[in-house]
Amino acid sequence: MQISQELSLPTMGCGTWAWGNRLLWGYDESMDDQLQAVFNLCVNNSVTLFDTGDSYGTGRLNGQSERLLGRFAKEYLGPGKEDICIATKLAAYPWRLTRQSMVSACKSSANRLGRNVDLVQMHWSTANYAPWQEGRLLDGLADLYEQGLVRGVGLSNYGPKRLKRVHQKFVERGVPIATLQVQYSLLSTYPVTQLELKGVCDELGIKLIAYSPLALGLLTGKYSDKGPFPKGIRGLLFRQLLPGIRPLLASLREIAQLRNKTMSQIALNWCICKGTIPIPGAKSVEQARDNIGALGWQLDSGEMAQLDQAAASVDKVMVQNIFQTK
């Protein structure tokens, strides 16, 4: 039976995408109270969309991100509690081969959350490496909506060609696609400028969610091409990108100073002005408060043009997700 309540998304989400990465690389239970405070601050300021995934947390931490998020939602008692929208992404694991595997996966996510999933999303398309697998997983996604187990369905890392095919498949079953999630920021404009996804989403009535809107922190002004750099692969990436994005960072800094805002707030507001829903991560109250400062105002056309030009002039951009299709 199809549910009648329409999924409604806020203008900006505070994503657990960053929490998911933290959980993968060493979960510290001492941070739980801090993360609860982050969650409370967000909802209290009308930021009520929280994005996670069933792959965020592995080994002994299996599904830990969902468990935490469900607990935070339950323990929050302030205004906006009824507006909390929890979105999770189901991984296209190689052992998920049937439509029932997706239904079971979502039920497991709901069990960890302690509540139904509001928005269930296909974490990535298998079209680039196992196209035969995708159809059954998508059928399972649609089954979840038809059975009333979720309020909406979405996709992640899909390009316009694949999106149109899946949209038509779902139209035939009467299942609307609510959202599409892609990597999008001033350092990753590819989905919009080259794939032209925003226009396709507008045409199909799909809201575009921008993950990694701060480009792993490169757009916050926290890092310099002189260092220090993060450890590991992230540090190597920063060493490659930072020298070439000086003009972009200079534009962000200039506008931030004139606006009395932070560089992060300018970068997030740019995403909002582009008609997307950014989902920045926040692991501290300070980060969450900074993210919230991107709401309630808009960059003007001149500032947007300046940032667009600066973004187009960088010699190296963020590496695209390997699962992003065309």
Catalytic residues: 56
List the beta bridge partners of residue 208: 180
- Give the position of tokens 């209290």: 44
- Judged by DSSP in three states, 208 sits in strand
Burial (Cβ within 10 Å: 0-12, 13-18, ≥19) of residue 115: middle
Give the other-Cβ count within 10 Å of 225's Cβ: 15
Which tokens in the block code for residue 291?
């993210």
Which tokens in the block code for residue 272?
């909002």
Q: Which amino acid is at 321?
A: N
List the beta bridge partners of residue 156: 181
Starting at the edge strand found earlier in the chain, the sheet holding 207-211 runs 49-53, 85-90, 119-122, 152-156, 177-183, 207-211, 277-278
